[in-house]
Structure 1
């Protein structure tokens, strides 16, 4: 698998300098932050997508939704754990709303593919929104229903909406992967066809 080859290369590099690069995030301070969890296939890409959003203070790649306790990347990627690759993020609701985060999510997922995302196949790459309270559940279900009724797609919207469960962070070398390994990340993302598929689904991304 393309991602495994790229990951194996970068893991060696990270052992030598894992602490060299860090995400430049503002301190949470006294702000009251809220939590959201999204799965849209490869968590390297999901993390990169949400890191661009003003008001997102922290993103952590990890696993959720399965029964295997304290899963490792190797266990989840092999399948059978029930866990999905996800990104759990902390955000400042005074700067970005959960509804706006949902808008970002939909634009960065293939909502028609329940069996994986892009070149990554299997339940562990399924698209899923894990809600942390009833308000998040309501907004997620409303946004999914609105998209389904929009007429944009002739196929049903198959993104799962489920209650959040125990979140297990992935190993350190997966965190901020796109920052620590920009070349390997670019090769993976382009080779996986993610951006080409997203453009076919949603059109060209708006320039910031």
Structure 2
């Protein structure tokens, strides 16, 4: 088993693209990249902790290679927005790939370069590729939020602009 960690705005919206796929054994919403130990959602949402909202995926690379995770990751984001994602603004919502191994770093860099070369976007690809650091699971009410709070999740996602961007650009 390996871990993959992705930031793409609100972590609620980053769970569904990866769930229920063969070789994916778990998806946990959480925080990483900052300086505050054991951060809470209330702290992270202020943008002052240095943490990103992320999903950490446990996967079997033989069944679901890291490259496939990257292929799923990019179309969930606006890789040209360094100020957040969609309606979620601030450093805690910036897009980033946190690598756990040198191979993951190389594959992430390659996929970012390939995306830039395709010319899909007229602005630079600004998604950061950073070393994984301590991961803190988010509070229980954030885990599988899209299943626990279906109505609120759908409303929030609809208002976010995420789906409109994805449909237009991907």
Structure 1 length-normalised TM: 0.80
CA shift, 1:43, in A, is: 0.3
SS of equivalent to 1:200: helix
SS of equivalent to 1:189: helix
Tell me the residue number matched to 2:166.
198
Check 1:163–1:61 CA distance in 2 against 1; reply closer, same or farther (3 A cut): same
Tell me the residue number matched to 1:173.
141
Tell me the residue number matched to 1:39.
7
1:94 aligned to 58, 62, 66, which one?
A: 62
Question: Larger radius of gyration, structure 1 or 2?
Answer: 1
Tell me the residue number matched to 2:36.
68
Q: Give me the whole-angstrom Cα distance separating, in 2, the residues matched to 1:182 and 1:95.
A: 30
Greater CA drift, 171-180 or 146-155: 146-155
CA shift, 1:52, in A, is: 4.3
Q: Give me the whole-angstrom Cα distance separating, in 2, the residues matched to 1:158 and 1:108.
A: 14
Greater CA drift, 144-153 or 130-139: 144-153
> Structure 2: 5+ residue runs without aligned partners?
none
Structure 2 length-normalised TM: 0.98
SS of equivalent to 2:16: helix
Q: Give me the whole-angstrom Cα distance separating, in 2, the residues matched to 1:141 and 1:52.
A: 26
Tell me the residue number matched to 2:17.
49
CA shift, 1:75, in A, is: 0.1
Runs of 4+ in 1 over 6 A off after TM superposition: none
Q: Give me the whole-angstrom Cα distance separating, in 2, the residues matched to 1:47 and 1:141.
A: 22
SS of equivalent to 1:45: helix
Greater CA drift, 125-134 or 48-57: 48-57
Q: Give me the whole-angstrom Cα distance separating, in 2, the residues matched to 1:65 and 1:196.
A: 29
Q: 1:109 aligned to 2:77? A: yes
Alignment size in residue pairs: 170
SS of equivalent to 1:78: coil
Q: Give me the whole-angstrom Cα distance separating, in 1, the residues matched to 2:120 and 2:30.
A: 31
CA distances 1:144-190 after superposition (whole Å, capped 9, x unpaired): 00111111112100000000000000000000000111111101100
Tell me the residue number matched to 1:13.
none
Task: Give RMSD over aligned pairs.
Answer: 0.8
SS of equivalent to 1:197: helix
Q: Give me the whole-angstrom Cα distance separating, in 1, the residues matched to 2:131 and 2:71.
A: 19
